[in-house]
């Protein structure tokens, strides 16, 4: 099937390390912009995974996320596959899209979380890290998004607390409040929450090991993943 240049860009290889999140962004954006028309069928999983340069398991997780968010419909059988929903969500709540203020919030988060992670890797005590582990387990056992998000907020504030910096705690509290407004605009697929919490768990381990470099890398990857998901499930891509 011959594709125009815009659609060709949708199916170019995805770059690591945020392959899952970027795949959600790529396909979600294409659906919103109409590059993938309502009712159209995506290429077979094997072919699509090969085109995107990702594993089939990663692709399945991304497709599941887009099914849960209402962008795709999965059908079984000989003529089955992944189809674009007839009426996919084209915008966030009340038609809102990411604007310059939202982008500024995401930049603010990068600065605050990166700094907090550096200091937590240097200063965190066992009690604070134990508390982070407890919050990871709360998120793992959460039965709805509200419970998950409350523990998620406390986790990130807990990193600032582990950094022993009252100013960072205040900044983290502020940025988490602003992030909640953005996160409220999108669906909350279980696949996304599970992957996010796996990163939380690994981050605590790195903080315990005083592995500052890897902890900051993982924190940045965690934030980038959120950015890709927001871009994929909201009206306008972050790069717009």
> 101, 159 in Cβ contact below 8 A?
no
Q: Which two tokens stand for residue 141?
A: 């056992």
Phi-psi label, residue 37: left if phi above 0, alpha if psi -120 to 50, beta otherwise = beta
pLDDT given for residue 211 in this prediction: 98
Rounded distance between C-alpha atoms, residue 171 and residue 167, angstroms: 6
Report the percent of the chain where pLDDT is more than 70.
Answer: 89
Structural domains in the chain plus CATH codes = 5-84 (1.10.10.10), 93-233 (1.20.120.530)
Q: Quick one: average pLDDT of 28-36?
A: 81
**94 pLDDT more than 60:** no
End-to-end CA distance of the chain: 28
Regarding pTM above 0.75, the answer is: no
For all residues of the chain together, what is the average pLDDT? 86
User: Which residues are within 8 A (CB) of 95 and not within 5 positions of it... i.e. 6 or more apart?
Assistant: 235
pLDDT given for residue 95 in this prediction: 40
Q: Of 121-125, 169-173, 180-184, give the lowest mean pLDDT range.
A: 180-184
More confident residue, 152 or 35: 152
DSSP 95: G
**124 pLDDT more than 70:** yes
**68 pLDDT more than 80:** yes
């Amino acid at each position: 099937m011959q594709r125009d240049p815009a659609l060709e860009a949708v199916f170019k290889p995805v770059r690591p390390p945020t392959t899952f999140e970027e795949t959600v962004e790529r396909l979600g954006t294409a659906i919103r912009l109409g590059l993938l028309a309502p009712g159209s069928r995506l290429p077979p999983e094997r072919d699509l995974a090969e085109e995107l340069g990702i594993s089939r398991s990663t692709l399945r997780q991304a497709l599941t996320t887009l099914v849960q968010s209402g962008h795709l419909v999965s059908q079984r059988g000989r003529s089955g596959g992944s189809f674009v929903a007839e009426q996919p969500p084209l915008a966030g709540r009340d038609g809102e899209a990411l604007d310059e203020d939202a982008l500024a919030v995401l930049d603010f988060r990068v600065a605050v979380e990166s700094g907090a992670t550096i200091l937590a890797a240097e200063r965190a005590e066992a009690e604070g890290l134990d508390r982070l582990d407890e919050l990871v387990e709360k998120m793992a056992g959460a039965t709805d998004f509200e419970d998950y998000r409350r523990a998620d907020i406390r986790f990130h504030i807990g990193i600032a607390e582990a950094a022993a910096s009252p100013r960072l705690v205040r900044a983290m509290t502020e940025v988490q409040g602003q992030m909640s407004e953005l996160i409220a605009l999108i669906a909350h697929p279980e696949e996304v929450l599970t992957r996010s919490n796996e990163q939380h768990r690994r981050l605590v381990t790195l903080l315990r090991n005083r592995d500052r470099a890897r902890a900051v890398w993982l924190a940045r990857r965690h934030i980038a993943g959120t950015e890709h998901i927001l871009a994929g499930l909201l009206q306008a891509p972050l790069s717009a």
